[in-house]
Amino acid sequence: MKKHLLLATPLLITAFVANADNQERYDTYKQALEVDLNNCTEFAGVAPINEIQARALVPSKYKLVVNGTKASLVVRVSDCQEVSVNGHPGKPGRVAHIGVELISPDGTATDPNTSINNYTLSYASNIPELVEGLNRFALPAVKAPELDYEFAPPNGPSLLYASVAPLDPNSPAWFLYGTVTNPTIPSPFLANWWYLSNSGQVKMATTFPKIYFDFTSTVSFYTSSKNIIGTLIGGNSINNFPVSFRGQYTYAQMIVTLE
């Protein structure tokens, strides 16, 4: 009997250490998620939407940016050569956001020229570790393995095509198509994306030490009129975003916290 106990002891210790490591990793995700983004290009478009319809999708604790009777829809997609989640080895990856622009809930990112705050309506990525990490915060990020982002030629004007087809049928599928030009205007930038769940308030704060912008792109948005975004925009498309940002950056970091 003693011999069997002695043989089992190393296995028990190994299992205990593995469980401790898993718990530590889980606790780290719960406390904060750090995502390093390297050598990325992106597009973001902003379009007016009905304030009342937008208000129905955003919790009342948040104040919308409103111009007259219009709120602002923000659509963003980014392609990176390397994405590292909580210090793990980096890999190529893409993310896609749709949200409604907010007045800063916590007093950060208040300069309209170098920052933005948005409430998250949709989040998709082809990086499983990132989606799983965000899900631990009760943020409904979804996997989109076939998330496409392409533009050619590399020196603009270029044709941009981006397509998001999440695995979750409840998450909207959509795509972008249009002409983009080379980003040449450098600026620091802070982008806060928010989400409120039963677990608390999630804040995704992405700091760009330097991002190059171009504001002359002509890109349109397409989706089903029957999904949450199509209902919000009242149809299948946004024909050329009134405000567009083509961006390119060497490095940025996203810190996700639950408050």
Q: Where are the domains of the chain?
A: 33-258
Whether the pLDDT of residue 25 is over 90: the answer is no
Alpha carbon distance 180, 160 (integer Å): 6
What is the CATH code of the structural domain delimited by 33-258? 2.40.400.10
Instruction: Supply the mean pLDDT for the chain.
Output: 90
Give residues with Cβ within 8 angstroms of 100, minimum separation 6. Answer: 49, 54, 57, 58, 64, 71, 72, 73, 74, 118, 119, 121
Whether the pLDDT of residue 181 is over 50: the answer is yes
Region 138-150: what's the mean pLDDT? 96
Residue type, 147: L
Q: What's the distance, CA 234 to chain centroid?
A: 23
Whether the pLDDT of residue 3 is over 80: the answer is no
Alpha carbon distance 25, 16 (integer Å): 14
Region 76-96: what's the mean pLDDT? 97
Alpha carbon distance 100, 58 (integer Å): 8
Residue 174, CA distances (Å) to 10, 94, 122 in order = 52, 15, 11
pLDDT of residue 31: 66
Whether the pLDDT of residue 132 is over 50: the answer is yes
The model scores a pTM over 0.95? no
Region 100-126: what's the mean pLDDT? 97
Residue type, 81: Q
